[in-house]
Chain A
Amino acid sequence: MSATSTSALAQAKNKVDNLSENQIGLLLILPLAVLLMVLYLYPILRGFVFSLQEVSLFATDPAWIGAQQYIDTVNSSRFWNAFENGIIYTVGSVAVTVVVGVGTAMVLNRSFFGERFVTGLILSPYMIPIVGIVLIFRWLFNGLNGAANYVFIQLGFVNEPVAWFSSSTYAMPMLILISGWALYPFVCMLVLAKLQTIPDEYYEAANLMGASRTRQFVSITLPQLKSVLFVAILLRMLWTFNLFDIIWLGTQGGPGNATETLPIMAYRIAFDGLRLGEGTAVAFLTFVVLAIGTIIYFRSFGERSA
């Protein structure tokens, strides 16, 4: 090694030694920050620019139109229909996953023969690809020759086959049912983990005082689950409102636009209509809706669940 390079290395070492702890920290996270900027921030900013332009999927000669697409979208009945559908779908789906998830976790929290096998079985919906789950439901609930219709007719619940995925009355409940079935294991596992940390002494004391099971659930279990339910519901709300695959595979937003949510609307506009700018504007509005929803949620339940 030459004397010049030795001296340069020594100088560099001195410079690093003289850096403050904060400066070293910044230096260390710099590569990751740059990577994130490139992979995460740039596409978002680029998307935002698209939302301010009239640009087709062919992406040639975009015309700058400012916030016009946002204004037009917010003023359209289609947006509010998709917004309302998103709220119904999210509330319904989250309610099903939480009720079924908590109920299942309560059962699994007890010791019984075959507990591990049953736990694995209950987790299985989370391991099956969504496309498989939706296809199975579509097959079971096929409006012409599905097994569900056959059983319901035999049992006398209905007189003729019901078009589960093609009726504006039943399509949304079907999607909620699929989402609930496919996604409840997430809530179940979070709740089960928390249940196993609740000391038995709480329940023993309650038993001694003659508290009923319902009373124990309301006064001991639920308060203990508050923090985990807060997170589970928040995450499920965000994911469900943004969920695309189950709706797209199940109904493609139809019949008509009876099950069209904001992500489906964004996709249809961008990819079916080739209007990339307008589709991106809908996607950004979805982000705004979710951000507002999250703030309201935190303000309403954040402190109480801490």
Chain B
Amino acid sequence: MINSAYEPVQEVFKEIFNEFEDQEGNVKVEYNRVDFADAPQQAAQAQAAGEPWDVMNLASPGNNVTAAQEGLLQPINDVIDDRGVDYWNEKAMFQLDGDYYFAPHYGSVIKLNYRVDMFEEASAPMPPFDNWEQYMTAAEMLTDTSQNQYGHPVFLGSNHFHGVWPMMLTMMNGGGVVNPDGDIVFDSQETAEALQFVKDMDQYSPESAHNSSIPNMRPPLYQGQYAMTWYSTNQVAADIANYAPNLQGDVQVTHVPSPGNNDPVARMTGTGYGVSSETEHPEVAKRLVKYITEPENVVRMLTANPTAKIPMVKGVLEEDRMWENETIQEYEDLYRDLVGMAEDYGRIIAVNENPETVNPITGRALSETMVVGAAQDVVLKDMDPMDAATKWADRMREEYK
């Protein structure tokens, strides 16, 4: 089995595998935890060498779907049918050519973290925001460069993750990378407006945020230098416990706002586990997938790093064991907000930009930094937003023809 689980959850996986081995009798589960960037190669190489990982979760929805499209995975319709498709969060479920390839267990959702105390001190309008104007107003009121304090950071790092925010803004504004027919539509007025918004927000961002690494996106929030910041995995509970115990209750989460005329979009992960197309043990592999996605095991994973991830299996919040965890009790409101956000606005945009239509292009445009490239051109090179959108749309057409 191969996945990219965070450290505290790895131990739970090992426990679960030990139990599965005991239950099966003559099965040994070999577990390999790999980094995000290594996952596709490790899976492909193992398969090419004739020793495939029987069960795989390749770290991101894009990687997972590409693996299925490249023939590394086999359909697991029987697993899904056995449980019933309603067993899982419907937003995490999708089919490729009529087949299910993944059994979700948990995921993450992009949200805005904000400091209630800083908003109160600045008398700024409190989130959630109804539109971009409110968001901008709050960011302006919260910015005080003489105090080294900024409303909201504009991250422009050259990696897939930093492209997610401009991508979400574009989609909330009615734009996108591809339309349901698969045509590239990134060079739209909607994209240009979203890019202009990113540029406008940059007035209330420190320049140091532009090239911030992913782990460094959160600490300035706790240090009082950002009043808001965005992130995927919800580390608020762990961060506060480890670095800023005095901030308990002062950090809350909400959705990244839409311009007002459309619903918000919250990028979600959680496509889950698939079974190798060349496994010699398909039945055992499928039983393992089912075991991993049993509610009580999902609860164990979720409580290993409390409030970090959200369930992709329904009914998990009703499990008593979930609420036996002290941290989840303490952060119950925040956690329910997070789950609600995923239910209301969550979307696996890397492969499912247009609902019901799985496409490999949006994920590639994100991972090949084309979306953040447009934002970089507008903010760092002062390019006209429409020119930047056109430049990158042309690149996408060239690359993905």
Chain A residues with CB under 8 Å of chain B are 56-61, 142-145, 160-161, 163-168, 171, 251-258, 260, 268-269, 271-276
State the Cβ distance, A82 to closest chain B Cβ, in Å.
12
Contact check, A254 vs B72: say whether CB atoms are below 8 A apart: no
In the assembled complex, 20 residue pairs joining A and B whose CB atoms fall closer than 8 Å, in A order, are: A56-B70, A58-B40, A58-B41, A58-B43, A58-B44, A59-B44, A59-B48, A60-B70, A61-B70, A143-B206, A144-B223, A145-B148, A160-B145, A161-B208, A163-B206, A252-B157, A254-B156, A255-B380, A268-B158, A272-B37
Chain B residues with Cβ below 8 Å from A160 are 145
Name the segment of B13-21, B108-116, B363-371 touching the other chain. Answer: B363-371
Name the segment of B119-127, B189-197, B210-218, B324-332 touching the other chain. Answer: B210-218
Chain A residues with Cβ below 8 Å from B381 are 256
Which residues of B205-241 have CB atoms within 8 Å of chain A's CB atoms? 206-213, 220, 223, 225
State which of A164, A171, A272 has its C-beta within 8 Å of the C-beta of B367.
A272
Q: What is the interface of chain A mostly: helix, strand, loop, or mixed?
A: loop
Chain B residues with Cβ below 8 Å from A252 are 157-159, 211, 213
Chain B residues with Cβ below 8 Å from A167 are 207, 210
Contact check, A168 vs B380: say whether CB atoms are below 8 A apart: yes
Contact check, A165 vs B208: say whether CB atoms are below 8 A apart: yes
Chain B residues with CB under 8 Å of chain A are 37-38, 40-41, 43-45, 48, 63, 66-67, 70-72, 145, 148, 156-160, 206-213, 220, 223, 225, 364, 367-369, 373, 376-377, 380-381
- Interface centre among A144, A252, A273, A276, by most chain B C-beta atoms within 10 angstroms, is A144
Chain B residues with Cβ below 8 Å from A163 are 206-208, 210-211
Chain B, Cβ-Cβ closest to A76: B395
Known contacts A58-B70, A145-B223, A256-B380; A273 and B367 CB within 8 A of each other: yes
Contact check, A145 vs B158: say whether CB atoms are below 8 A apart: no
Chain B residues with Cβ below 8 Å from A273 are 364, 367-368
Contact check, A60 vs B72: say whether CB atoms are below 8 A apart: yes
Chain A residues with Cβ below 8 Å from B208 are 142-144, 161, 163-166
Bound Cα distance from A232 to B116, whole angstroms = 57
Known contacts A57-B40, A255-B210, A271-B41, then 17 further A-B pairs from the complex at CB < 8 Å, ordered by chain A residue: A56-B66, A143-B206, A143-B207, A160-B145, A165-B208, A166-B208, A166-B211, A167-B207, A254-B157, A255-B380, A256-B158, A256-B376, A271-B37, A272-B37, A274-B63, A274-B367, A275-B368
- Interface centre among A58, A167, A253, by most chain B C-beta atoms within 10 angstroms, is A58
Bound Cα distance from A178 to B156, whole angstroms = 23
